[in-house]
């Protein structure tokens, strides 16, 4: 497909670009009044995720309103456990809640491998609608949660600062942990392939809780399964974002992926030293800088761009944009990047 703007695809493939492309994690969401208007008409977050026409609408909003160089399909990483037979719900002010959790080998045996064409058709339908309505303006990003992060929620049952139940399971039931991670991985590969078939141009794996494990455990229970997914997805560029896993950057750099996302704790210089020059890097402005003065935001954005050096870089935040961030600050960040000349 020919795109009016294919900067993100060219950067992910290591090609030279005339400016740095930019998008934001969580760009389709709460910072936009237009999103809140759509959301207000519904019973909750899950209804929005599971209504393809509305998911497509809020996916496209940041392209129209913020001027980003890519759309990312509006969904949630927890659709995978839901499709495997472990449903979740969103509780206001709390986040995701699993009323049932995985406690034993027998619980794992009850789970199925997700069939994206039936269990997750609402996502692929949203992708098809989005692609048609974008009409080649910008590429569309698909995504999934990394197996370790999905595992964490399935064991813990909710968000946590420590995920101590999930971590305890690794020590007490390592064989069962690998069984569950294997099932999640199989489901995730099928899911990503269905997204690609529906039309996404690039996919990202979010390992949000990578940083809570010791290095050796992360290599065994986290990176091992990222590698399997990266090796299985060869139709489109793939980005790996393992938040907090600075300690494994060298190993992450050897994955069969195109782009590595960096959180705001990780300096581009250190990442380049550990990863090498082959991969594209993505990130990594501190999301809290969007609360700073306009002058400081522009200064720090330019400093970030200079640290990455202009090529093999996709500009982003070091994590998702915070919900009370003003859209004007996001636009300033985006426009600073789009106007900057090296």
**pLDDT tens, position by position, 305-316:** 999 999 999 999
Residue 39 a catalytic site member: yes
For the record, the structure tokens of 204 come out as 């990202």
Mean pLDDT rounded to a whole number for the chain:
97
The pLDDT value recorded for residue 342 is: 87
Compute how many other C-beta atoms are within 10 angstroms of the C-beta atom of residue 277: 8
Q: Measured between alpha carbons, how far is 137 from 77 in angstroms, rounded to an integer?
A: 26
Q: Measured between alpha carbons, how far is 213 from 26 in angstroms, rounded to an integer?
A: 24
Q: Measured between alpha carbons, how far is 254 from 214 in angstroms, rounded to an integer?
A: 19
- Residue of 10, 19, 30, 137 marked catalytic: 30
- Residue of 6, 76, 119, 201 marked catalytic: 76
Buried/exposed code over 68-92 (b: 16+ C-beta within 10 A; e: otherwise):
bbbbbbbbbbbbbbbbbebebebee
Written out in words, the top-level CATH class of the domain with range 7-339 is: alpha beta
Of 39-43, 174-178, 276-280, the poorest mean pLDDT is in: 39-43
pLDDT above 70 covers a percentage of the chain that reads 100
Q: Measured between alpha carbons, how far is 123 from 203 in angstroms, rounded to an integer?
A: 14
- Residue of 39, 107, 291, 340 marked catalytic: 39
Average pLDDT over residues 256-268: 98
Average pLDDT over residues 70-74: 98
3-state secondary structure at position 97: strand
Q: Is the preceding peptide bond at 284 cis, omega within 30 degrees of 0?
A: yes
Residue 76 a catalytic site member: yes
The whole-angstrom distance between residue 266's C-alpha and the CA centroid of its chain comes to: 17
Q: Measured between alpha carbons, how far is 86 from 247 in angstroms, rounded to an integer?
A: 32
**pLDDT tens, position by position, 128-186:** 999 999 999 999 999 999 999 999 999 999 999 999 999 999 999 999 999 999 999 99
DSSP for 29-45, written as a single string: STT-HHHHHHHHTSS-H
- The strand ranges marked E within 243-295 are 259-261, 280-285
- Residue of 35, 153, 218, 225 marked catalytic: 153
pLDDT at 10 over 90: yes
Would the CA dihedral through 252, 301, 202, 13 be positive or negative? negative
**pLDDT tens, position by position, 192-232:** 999 999 999 999 999 999 999 999 999 999 999 999 999 99
Residue 30 a catalytic site member: yes
Q: What is the DSSP letter of 322?
A: P
Which is nearest to 141 in space by CA: 195, 62, 67?
A: 195
- The strand ranges marked E within the chain are 71-72, 89-91, 95-97, 140-145, 202-207, 238-242, 259-261, 280-285, 313-317
Compute how many other C-beta atoms are within 10 angstroms of the C-beta atom of residue 18: 9
For the record, the structure tokens of 282 come out as 């993505």
- Which residue ranges make up each domain of the chain? 7-339
**pLDDT tens, position by position, 57-70:** 999 999 999 999 99
Average pLDDT over residues 244-273: 98
Average pLDDT over residues 62-80: 98
pLDDT above 90 covers a percentage of the chain that reads 97
Confidence of residue 268 (pLDDT cuts 50, 70, 90): very high
Q: In what order do the strands lie in the sheet with 71-72?
A: 71-72, 140-145, 202-207, 238-242, 259-261, 280-285, 313-317
The pLDDT value recorded for residue 92 is: 85
Confidence of residue 93 (pLDDT cuts 50, 70, 90): confident
Is there a contact between 13 and 57 (Cβ–Cβ < 8 Å)?
Answer: no
Q: Measured between alpha carbons, how far is 9 from 236 in angstroms, rounded to an integer?
A: 9
Average pLDDT over residues 18-36: 96
Is there a contact between 115 and 187 (Cβ–Cβ < 8 Å)?
Answer: no
Q: Which residues contact 45 (CB under 8 A, 6 or more apart)?
A: 39, 76, 90
- Residue of 26, 167, 227, 272 marked catalytic: 26
Is there a contact between 254 and 279 (Cβ–Cβ < 8 Å)?
Answer: no
Residue 273 a catalytic site member: no
Residue in the block written with tokens 């996502």: 123
Which is nearest to 21 in space by CA: 104, 139, 121?
A: 139
């Amino acid at each position: 497909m020919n795109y009016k703007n294919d900067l993100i695809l060219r950067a992910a493939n290591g090609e030279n670009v005339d400016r740095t492309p930019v998008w934001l994690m969580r760009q389709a969401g709460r910072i936009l009044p237009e999103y809140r208007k759509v959301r207000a008409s519904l019973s909750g977050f899950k209804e929005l995720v599971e209504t393809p026409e509305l998911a497509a609408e809020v996916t496209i909003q940041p392209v129209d309103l913020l001027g980003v160089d890519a759309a990312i399909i509006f969904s949630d990483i927890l659709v995978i456990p839901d499709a495997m037979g472990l449903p979740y719900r969103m509780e206001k002010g709390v986040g995701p809640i699993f009323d049932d959790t995985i406690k034993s080998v027998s619980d794992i045996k009850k789970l199925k491998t997700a069939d994206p064409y039936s269990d997750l058709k609402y996502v692929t339908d949203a992708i098809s609608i989005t692609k048609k309505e974008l009409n080649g303006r910008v590429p569309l990003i698909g995504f999934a949660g990394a197996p370790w992060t999905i595992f964490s929620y399935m064991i813990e049952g909710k968000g946590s600062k420590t995920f101590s139940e999930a971590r305890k399971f690794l020590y007490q039931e390592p064989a069962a942990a690998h069984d569950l991670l294997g099932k999640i991985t199989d489901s995730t590969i099928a899911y990503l392939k269905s997204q690609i078939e529906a039309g996404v141009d690039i996919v990202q794996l979010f390992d949000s809780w990578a940083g809570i494990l010791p290095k050796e455990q992360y290599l065994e229970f986290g990176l091992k399964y990222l590698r399997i997914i990266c090796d299985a997805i060869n139709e489109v560029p793939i980005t790996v974002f393992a938040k907090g896993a600075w300690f494994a950057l060298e190993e992450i750099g050897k994955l069969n992926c195109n782009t590595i996302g960096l959180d705001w704790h990780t300096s581009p210089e250190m990442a380049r030293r550990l990863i090498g020059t082959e991969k594209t890097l993505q990130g990594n402005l501190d999301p809290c800088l969007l609360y700073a003065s306009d002058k400081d935001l522009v200064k720090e954005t330019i400093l970030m761009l200079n640290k990455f050096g202009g090529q093999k870089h996709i500009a982003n935040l070091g994590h998702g944009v915070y919900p009370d961030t003003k859209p004007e600050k996001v636009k300033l960040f985006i426009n600073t990047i789009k106007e900057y000349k090296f």
